[in-house]
Structure 1
Amino acid sequence: MSEQHAELSREFIEQQRQRLEGLRRHFLGDDEERRAFEEQHGDEAAEFEDTAQDSAQEEVLQAQHDVDDRRVHDIERALQKIADGTYGYSDLSGQPIPKARLEVTPEAILTLDEERARERGR
């Protein structure tokens, strides 16, 4: 086990798990509320959105949705890594992810360099 991973105490990992679960509720809660609204109002919401938004707004909303989807995926993966005991290691290289990065981005599953490469590839 590397020194980097040794820095991740059980308390730190538990705090991260709680933060990740809160983030998951934040992102998925919005989807659940939207689904409930659409079930209640049917196509009415879609028709209103179609007439109220221009194509530029739709592009922005789609881009935000894509970012949110990626974050939810990374949150789910980070929670799985906590359960597996591999939290704090990159999914790509297996290299340790610095604690400071995990503090800022608890759902980080890649090192910063790997994340930058992933962003360039999109």
Structure 2
Amino acid sequence: MDPGHAKELLAAERQRIEEALGRLTAEFDPESPDGPAEEADTGDQAADLVDRQRDLGRIEELREELEAVERAEARLADGTYGISIESGEPISDVRLERIPTAERTADEQRAYERNPL
């Protein structure tokens, strides 16, 4: 894949993640106008707690995705972007278009997900 195009894909991915993180973390800021309101009803409080737990999980996922972008940017900088971290085989451009942070070929990723380290 052309390094310039890879850089654009990674920049777009970073922007998507940072915007989503910004929206979600603003909900946890008590000074934020979008922050949670005080709820008097126990049922509302329980629903709010469930929503907050879900949001915290999503924040963690987004932080992991951001770390993957940073690793991909480092591989791009050192000339190893698009090469599997496992086998050294090339990762297809089609896969990198869909998943710009891909670290493994599709077959290697499936095997990794079945038996993670």
TM-score in terms of structure 1 length:
0.62
Cα displacement string for residues 22-72 of structure 1 (whole angstroms, at most 9, x for unaligned residues) = 23323432454245x15x38xxx6x978622687x7886676555434423
Residue 93 of structure 2, aligned match among 73, 96, 99: 99
Q: Which has the higher contact order (CA 8 A, sep 6+)?
A: 1
Q: Which structure's residues are more often helix, by fraction?
A: 1
TM-score in terms of structure 2 length:
0.64
2:72 touches 2:81 (CA, 8 Å); kept in 1? yes
1:89 touches 1:109 (CA, 8 Å); kept in 2? yes
Give RMSD over aligned pairs: 3.4
Unaligned runs of 5+ in 2: none
SS in 2 for 1:108: coil
Report the CA distance shift for 1:96/1:30 in structure 2 as closer, same or farther (over 3 A): farther
Compute the displacement of 1:115 (Å).
Answer: 1.6
- After TM superposition, the structure 1 = structure 2 runs for residues 67-78 of structure 1, keeping only pairs within 5 Å, are 67-78=61-72
Runs of 4+ in 1 over 3 A off after TM superposition: 47-50, 57-70
Identity %: 28
